[in-house]
Structures are given as C-alpha cells and as structure tokens.
A and B are shown apart, each in its own frame.
Chain A
Amino acid sequence: MELNEKTYETYFLSYVDNELSATERLAVERFVQFNPKYATALQDLQNTILTAEHVEFENKFLLYRLNEMDAKLDLNFKKSLYKKEQAPIHTFWNQNMIRYSAIAALLLLTIGTALKYTVNKEQRDILSANNSMPEAKKLTEIKRIDIVSDAQALMSNQLSQALIVKNNSKEQVVTKNITEPFETLPIGVENTKTASNLSTILSNTISQAAESTETLASIEKEQHTIDPQHSTVVQNTYQSESFEEININETDRVIYISSIEIDSDKIRGFTRRLNAIFKRNKSDKQ
C-alpha cells in the first residue's frame, strides 16, 4: 500500500504503534517533511501514547517461592504426630445393661411405693379405730385383758403346786395355798388322801379356769350388746384380714389390683373389640 493523502492515517497509526519497518518509517517521515499540513495529524496521534510509568508491586517477596516452603516431613515422624485410633468399644451390652437396670429400678420403686401405701393404709385404719373407741369400751378391753392374764397365772400356779406335791416322796403335805378358793391341807395325811386332794385341786383349778373363760365370754357378749358398731372394729384388731366373695352378677363392680383401678366396663368394651378383631381375622383366613 502506497503512502498518499488517502492512506496516510493508517500509516501514521502504524507509525505511532511502532509496527512499521525502518523503510516505512522513513517514508512516513519524508511524507510529513514534504507535506507539513499532515505534521499536526501525526503529532495528535503521537500525543495519544502513554509515556513510561513505574508502578511498584509492594511486598514483592510474598510472591517468592522458597525451598523451605516445600520441605516435606519424614513420613515416620509425620505418622508419630497423629493420634492412633483405638478400636471402638462395643457398647451394646453396656447400653442394654443400663436399660435393664433402669427398668428394674423403676419396677422396684413402683412395688415399694404400692406396699408402703398399703401398709400405711392398714395402720391408719387401726389408729382410727382405736381413736374412735369410747373410754368405757377401752376400760372393758383392759379389764378383759386382765382377766385373761389372771386366769393364765392361776392355772400356771396350780399346776406348779400339783407337781411339787406329786414329787414329794416323804408324804409331806402342802401347807400353804396361794389362792383363796383352795382349802389348806392337814399335816400327816395318807398318800391316797393326798392324791385324792391333788385331784380335787386340779379339778378346782380347771373349774376356775372355766369360770374365767365364761366371764370373758360374758364380757365379750356384753360388749356386743353395748356397742355393736365398735364390736366390728375390735374384731378387726384381732382379725386383720377378711375376704369377701365377689358378686359376679353386679354390673357396676370394680376390681382393685394393688393400687391400680380397672374399670370392668371399659375392659369389657376393649375385650369385645379384641374378640371381634380375632374373629374377623379367623374368618378372613378361612
């Protein structure tokens, strides 16, 4: 392409960009020298060139790569830095043990609470019965106990004396009678008589015991007649457990099992449903 008035701009641009050969550059300079009016055009394009400028990248050393950066650790030393993993402990048994222990503890706690509640209830019933007993009744009770103890003491004394007499081989007579209803035996009586007397004493003792028993029965009878309401309470003190036959025909019956109350009506509905389900399953299988 020849340099002329039509193509000078392209040449000028290539000249500014330093893309022309030495010959072409010389041709451009001559063209401008012989055509001064184009010198301004070339100068305007040369003004668009940026002059050299220094801009520094600070802390250039950060970009350097040193051998120490790629230094590798000894493999054995590296392995020694890691903690060795221990074999996992099979915790299934331990977990089960904890679970079973918790269930057992819960059961024991429940049973213990139920027993304590039952015992406390019985004690409360006895205490309430004693507290509600009238003073006269208490006195009667005390009297009854005294009579029983007296009768027992009497029987034991009579028996001990009879044994003493029986063991005496020298036919000595019992000189002292402890209780009132018995007679004093004379000294120097024969053995047969002594034996007969001994039998009499025994019979008397038995009869007195019988009398005491009758007295006790009469007192108890009297007790029944005086206050039939409290008689049951007293009876309960001697007879702590009583059993009652369950009336099956009753519709509104409640069965108590320990401290759990089960309504039979609700169970009946539940059992009916279960029966219905089982029957349905059977019929489906058939």
Chain B
Amino acid sequence: MTDKEYNNAVDLYADGVYRFIVKNIRHQEDARDIVQTAFEKLWVNRAVVDSLKIKSYLFTVAYHQMIDHIRQGSKMEITENFETLNNHNTYQKNGELKQLLLQAINELNPTQKSLVLLKDYEGYSYQEIGEIMSLSESQVKVYLHRARLQLKHKLVHLDKVSA
C-alpha cells in the first residue's frame, strides 16, 4: 500500500469507521482515539495490508479496539445518546419510529449492536461481518436474526405503549 492509497483510505473510510464506533460506545473522544489507533496500525502495517481489504482491516482493528475499550469499562458513561448524533440524518421514514428504534438498539448487547450497525450502515455481508468480528457466517446469521426479532418485538411493544 502506497502513501497515496493510505491517504485515500482516510478520505473514504474515516467517517464510516468513526460512525460505527461512536454509535457503539457513544463517546466521541474515545471513538476518535480508536479511529486514530486503527489508522496508525494501518500505516505501520501498510506493507502487508492488501489494498483491496483496507476497509475491512480498518473495521476489524477498530472493532477489537472497541471491545478492549468496553472491557476496560472505564469510560462507558453515556455522554450523548443516539438522538444527539442523528443531526445529519438524511432519511428516516418516521421520526417517532426512528426514536423508538434507536432506543431499542441501545438496549442490545455490544455484539448484536455491532452486527446491526455493520449490516445496516456499511452493508457488509454475513461473511465479511464474520471476518471483522471473528465469527463464523452461520453465527453472524443467527445472532443478527435474533437481534432483528428482538428489535421488532421492542418496536411493537413500544408502539403499543406509546399509542
């Protein structure tokens, strides 16, 4: 990987990696630190990283950094919630439904949340998600389906409560 490819990767993937992390841990400064660490590792290992797999490499490194960060548990205080991070929403069918969905996603465990975020935001396949999260394809499928059903039930329940 050349210097130019690296700088292109910054332009292409920095926002996506940051969004994935900040939606998970909900702490902007820590998310920035994790993203910087991911790109630092990419630069250090630029000689061995395939230029076609830069994005998955960045998400993989960032995901494991995030897991370490969550295990430390030192800065898991919620400084902002999903609502404040949705200022740049480009599209949402229903504002109320969106609020309920974000509330339901915050109640998922970190693995389920990461699965949903990687699937919906980045559009990764089960196989790619498995590579990033060190899971098998079938595990990703099962865990993600459980997360969807859990979100569906919560949305229905919250919709009924709010109605």
Contact = CB atoms under 8 A, between A and B. Distances in A.
A51 interface: yes
A17 B151 CA distance: 14
Given A48-B152, A65-B3, A55 B93 contact: no
Question: Chain A's interface: helix, strand, loop or mixed, by majority?
Answer: loop
Given A13-B145, A13-B148, A53-B90, A60 B14 contact: yes
B38 to A, nearest CB: 9
Given A45-B148, A63-B14, A63-B39, A50 B97 contact: no
Contacts of B155: 44, 47-48
B34 to A, nearest CB: 11
Nearest to B147: A48
Interface string A28-46: 0000000000000000110
Interface in A132-149: none
Contacts, number: 95
A54 B36 CA distance: 19
B91 A51 contact: yes
A9 B153 CA distance: 13
Nearest to A50: B120
B3 A49 contact: no
Contacts of A52: 90-91, 121
Contacts of A51: 89-93, 98, 120
Given A10-B145, A63-B36, A55 B101 contact: no
A9 B145 CA distance: 10
Instruction: List 9 A-B pairs, minimum CB-CB distance, nearest first.
Output: A55-B19, A50-B120, A48-B151, A57-B18, A57-B14, A54-B88, A63-B10, A13-B145, A44-B152
